[in-house]
Amino acid sequence: MRLVLVALVLLVGCGGQKPVPKRLVVEGDLGSWKYRRFQGPLLDVEVWIANNKGEAYSASYITSDAEKRGKIEDKDLVNVTVTSYEKPDGVVRETVKLVRRLAQEKGYQVDEEKISGVRALTIKGPAEAWVMWPSKTHVVKVGGQGRTSVPGAVVESYGDRYPSKLPGGSLEGPLPAGPDDKPKKDSETQKYDPNNPQANPENYDPNRVKIPEKQIEPDDLPPPEDKKKPKKK
């Protein structure tokens, strides 16, 4: 028993990644932020990835002051959404593409920052503020409406569970690599269509297509070869 306790103390002291919650979001208080509501699964995900199905879960947190007052304002509320994908293919690339599209829309300001040690993309619009980052097979989004900033304590807590895979300079440089576009194989060989024949020797039917024999004129015949004389003994 004593050895187990020592091992636990060493593990906590050395840090390490916190485990991913069973339903992806933390269903408990995060410091002064009090857990209030859970939603999920949500199939209408924000970052859509071709051939990589996503499923989202969300949680809401309020400040301890709002809990005491019994009245919640926009500044007292923060929402977290975690989307899980079947595989890591395209997670980083499509997250960056989404934020770049938002940067082109009027009213949105995007940037790349480190918040409480988590490299993330910040999104600020009219009366809203969000932080988003890709992890291995997850995308995390923290923020809310009516906010001008995102609480670092909430970002740090989720960053410990979902380490950011966002490369530096992702908004300015080339898009992160995505899955290779592999050519799709035809499920079956193209069948012969008599109404639309294609030049394919395998489809040739001698009973349907008659090729006329070439007529050779006598003048076109090659001259007879000289017979070789037998050698004299």
For 18-161, CATH number out of 1.20.1260, 3.30.420, 1.10.10, 3.40.1000 equals 3.40.1000
CA distance 208 to 138: 60
Question: Does the pLDDT value for residue 86 go beyond 70?
Answer: yes
- Which residue type is seen at 35? Y
CA distance 71 to 176: 43
CA distance 179 to 185: 17
pLDDT in tens, 120-177: 999 999 889 999 999 999 999 999 999 999 999 999 999 999 999 999 999 988 888 8
SS3 for 72-109 is CCHHHEEEEEEEEECCCCCHHHHHHHHHHHHHHCCCCE
Per-domain residue ranges for the chain?
A: 18-161
What backbone phi and psi angles, to 5 degrees, belong to 111? -155, 170
**What DSSP state is assigned to residue 30?**
B
Question: What is the distance, to the nearest Å, from the Cα of residue 102 to the centroid of all Cα atoms in its chain?
Answer: 17
Q: What is the pLDDT of residue 57?
A: 98
> How confident is the model over 91-112, as a mean pLDDT?
92
pTM of the model: 0.70
Task: Give the model's confidence band at 13: pLDDT under 50 very low, under 70 low, under 90 confident, else very high.
Answer: very low
